[in-house]
Structure 1
Amino acid sequence: MNRNHDAAHSEESAEPRLIDHLIELRARLLRAVVGLILVFLALMPFASDIYAMLAQPLLASLPASGKLVAVDPAGGFFVPLKLAFFAALLVSVPWLLYQAWAFVAPGLYQREKRLAVPLLVSAVALFYIGCAFAFFLVLPTVFGFLARFTPDVVAMTPDIGKYLDFVLVIFLAFGASFELPVALVILVLLGWVTPQQLKDSRGYAIVGVFVVAAIITPPDVVSQLMLAIPMVLLYELGILASRWLKPVSEQSPTA
């Protein structure tokens, strides 16, 4: 009789907790969306200026009279707005991650919080660094390389929509690739691999890095090398970081 009463009481107490979690989740999602919308509205008046800045790596490699064209009649209006939304999303990443963290943090142990915070901050910083690396180094180098080998009888007039899609893919590729050290640290902390195993697998990792770079970058050697070489260095950084965060006594993988 007492067991049935305890089970019924446990079910009754679990239901309010679930409702409280759902209410908290809804509030966090609402705050995240409202923050994103506010940033987007703030950037909308500057959409054309943002696109002009984004187009500079390509325009610098074109002739003085070179310009981008809008194949779609409405492209001149909607493409800058699309860029403004993605720029707002990029700017809002810390706010969005904070809302996610505020939701899950109460359920974490203190040790997990101490590890999660630097990993989260490092992931955001590395993603921004990857995007900046792509914009300031990769795009000017790639466009200069392509323009140098374009025949003089061919006029380069890229479409603004296709150019934006290309740049966004490059940003995503480099931003995600720069997350490699964080991914390695997480694997070590989970006990799936050890720093020594990562070190011993360095040769295979380098081959894999060049394969990945060949797949996700444009079909030219320059961009592939400019992604592969930083990823190899980031792999080494991931090994060093995992050794620092994982005590020597805990470096054996769990069964």
Structure 2
Amino acid sequence: MSLSTRTRLRSMAVAALTLGLVVGPNSVAAASDAEEDPRAEVHEGNLTDCDGFGGGLLVSVGDDEQVENLPGLTYDGGDTSSDKHVTVTDVPDDIVVTAIVVKGGPGYNVYVPGERELSSEAPWEDLRSPVNPGGQIPTISHWFVCGAEASEPTTDPQEPTGEPEEPSTSESPGKPDESEETEPGAPTSESPGETPTTAPERGSSAPATTTTDAAPVVNDDDLASTGLSSGWLIGVGAALVVGGGALLALTRLRRRSTT
């Protein structure tokens, strides 16, 4: 090998080493520059049931078993041997999903539809586990979906809270009541003894007739019932006349006897 060839190979080796020193750290930094999913709530440890989320287990995929209690729920990915993401593509209309849990590494993510910027309806894409201590997204070790049947809203008919309102009998202002209309010349419901007042027709110069009270009629029976009858006065006068005559005759007899 010539000197020029050795020099050229040495230069290439130095360049490769320099490139490795420059690119290598950047590659590691790029691989570990993962961020947490803002749509998920991060937890440490493990979780395998739906307690606290409501409903029951719809689908569960793990290393040891795979449970599909709801075959109508479809998804892509989620293979526990190789996948880091899972997408729930469709859910039956009569099912409400309450939570999706994705476990990987030392923690798990909880996704709740309608919260943390996660759509309230499927599809839910690229669901994953939390970032591991090395700053990378680990392979999924277990994931499951919780939910229940959608309950139809029940509306009980409201009972009336009060008695039904009676139709109003009030007439519009200025409109006379039909029951109070009388024919011309018919007597009104005024008290006895009063003469109704008739207003002159518009344009007529005749004076208005005023109402006058009739003089009360004296009943003789009322005076008799008070004991003020004149019969006893006649009896008393007759007795006085008889008594006076007797007294006069007695006086004359005394005068004759003395003479």
> TM-score range, shorter-chain basis?
under 0.3
TM-score (norm 2): 0.20
Q: Relative contact order, CA 8 A, sep 6+: which one is greater?
A: 1
Task: Looking at secondary structure, tell me which structure has more helix per residue.
Answer: 1
The structure having more radius of gyration, on CA atoms, is 2
Task: Looking at secondary structure, tell me which structure has more strand per residue.
Answer: 2
